[in-house]
Amino acid sequence: MVQSFNDKKEEGIIHYFRKNIGRRAFMLTEAFPFMFIGKIKSLVEDMVVLDVETTSVPALEGKEWSVHIHSIEVFYIETGIGAKIPHLKDS
């Protein structure tokens, strides 16, 4: 059976997130709360489990969130090459 483009894209995104477990990520999503910054803890099928440091709603921070990869519009993962994601909270 031939894989569709969308299936290959989803597989590639899942692989990229799995490869970067333990790294910080920035995500913009199509649904509330729209923005997440945190550490990738794991992947459960096509859900990214994120230890959230910062989001657009302070009451939702410091929690573990599961984000479906289909709801992620834009993401950036710190890989040691390129810019670091800023820490937006005072320590």
Q: What is the pTM of this model?
A: 0.89
What single letter denotes the amino acid at residue 25? Answer: A
User: What pLDDT score was predicted for residue 56?
Assistant: 87
Per domain, the residue ranges of the chain are: 5-77
Range 5-77: architecture per CATH: Roll (2.30)
Note down pLDDT in tens along the chain; length 91 residues: 677 888 888 899 999 999 999 999 999 998 888 999 999 999 999 999 999 999 988 899 999 999 999 999 999 999 999 999 998 876 5
> Exposed, middle or buried: residue 48 (CB in 10 Å: 0-12, 13-18, 19+)?
buried
Two tokens, residue 86: 């800023």
Two tokens, residue 45: 């099928």
